Amino acid sequence: MGVVRREGDWRLEKRSEGVYEITFRRESQMKILTSNAPSNRNGVGFDAVPLREVSSYSEAEGLFEEKAHGPTPLGMQPTAEDTYSGSDSDVDLTEFPPYGIGAMFLTVGLFMLYAFWDSENTLLPLFGVGALIVGVTPFVFTGYLYRTEDWQSAWEFLVTPLEDRTSSDSSSSKTKKTPPTPEKLKNKLIFDRSGQRCEWCEESYDHLQVHHIKPRREGGPNDPENLIVLCPNCHENADREAIPRSKLKAKVKRLPEISAD
């Protein structure tokens, strides 16, 4: 019958009236029966997946949230996207400028050499040397840029976080890239505002995407007014501005208002 909630690789899917299933990458993790599930349980299945009975749909949603925010099922590594869209506490080296990364490795390297020089374990000081080499690399490359280009590009290389490099080819732009849209807001937009339809062509769709009208690389915010739910087709058109931003903006203005949190 369809996906009713989605969070990363987790999905809450409706199988039939009152019968729900929580899946992770399409693999069943739990079945849920609400009070309006048929009393005839044929076809619901009592396999290895746990079965829970709840009194209402909102409890099923609660179970889903719990699962989706809990640990990843055994044997399934989180995808790169998962780790990135996650909390701010994740350490992402691309957020640091090269001099910071260099200094970090130099510190670790010096510490390891100092602490483990006399150790029986010959590997640890070697790691220290490795860290020193990695740490020195950004500074060597800066020197190289200084020699081959000019001090400006050398300086810029040293202080620009790797993340900002790909988003702006013109080094003058100082806008900071907006972080990805929080899953909670995405769900609100897809399930509550759009009713699982493309907000441009109004076609019902299983794989909807949330598009930033003013792009993230230009600092377009994660506000409901800057976000529109699109089918892959319209998304592509919006990305190459075959649908002008002004028209998307006007369309969003006519949609019901929702709060950002």
Angle among Cα 90, 95, 98 to the nearest 5 degrees reads 130
Torsion from C-alpha of 142, 147, 149, 154, nearest 10 degrees: 20
Does position 250 interact with Zn ion (CB under 5 A)? The reply is no
234 binds Zn ion (CB under 5 A): yes
Task: Check residue 68 for interaction with Zn ion (CB under 5 A).
Answer: no
Cβ atoms of 159 and 146 within 8 Å: the answer is no
Candidate ranges 66-74, 113-121, 199-207, 218-226; the one touching Zn ion (CB under 5 A): 199-207
Q: Which stretch binds Zn ion (CB under 5 A): 26-34, 53-61, 183-191, 229-237?
A: 229-237
231 binds Zn ion (CB under 5 A): yes
CA distance 23 to 37: 19
Query: What number of other Cβ atoms are within 10 A of residue 205's Cβ?
Result: 19
If the CB atoms of residues 201 and 250 are measured against Zn ion, the closer one turns out to be: 201
CB of 225 vs Zn ion, minimal distance in Å: 19
Least Å distance, CB 198 to Zn ion, is 3
C-alpha closest to that of 194 among 253, 255, 260? 255
Is 133 a binding residue for Zn ion by CB under 5 A? The answer is no
Which span sits near Zn ion by CB under 5 A: 134-142, 193-201, 237-245, 248-256?
193-201
Tokens standing for residue 115:
């602490």
Residue 83 or 233 having the CB closest to Zn ion: 233
DSSP assignment letter at 101: H
Q: Interface with Zn ion includes 1 (CB under 5 A)?
A: no
Cα separation, 31 vs 100, in Å, equals 48
Q: Which stretch binds Zn ion (CB under 5 A): 3-11, 107-115, 133-141, 196-204?
A: 196-204
Q: Residue 54's closest CA among 34, 40, 70?
A: 34
Residue with smaller CB distance to Zn ion, 159 or 201: 201
Tokens, residue 125? 């000081």
201 binds Zn ion (CB under 5 A): yes
In whole angstroms, the minimum distance from the beta carbon of 11 to Zn ion comes to 21
Q: Which stretch binds Zn ion (CB under 5 A): 96-104, 190-198, 238-246, 248-256?
A: 190-198
Q: Select from 54, 198, 238, 243 the one that contacts Zn ion (CB under 5 A).
A: 198
Chain center to CA of 248 = 24
Give me the residue label for tokens 């915010």.
221
| Beta-carbon count within 10 A of 88 CB | 7
Q: Using CB under 5 A as the criterion, which residues of the chain lie in contact with Zn ion when the complex forms?
A: 198, 200-201, 231, 234
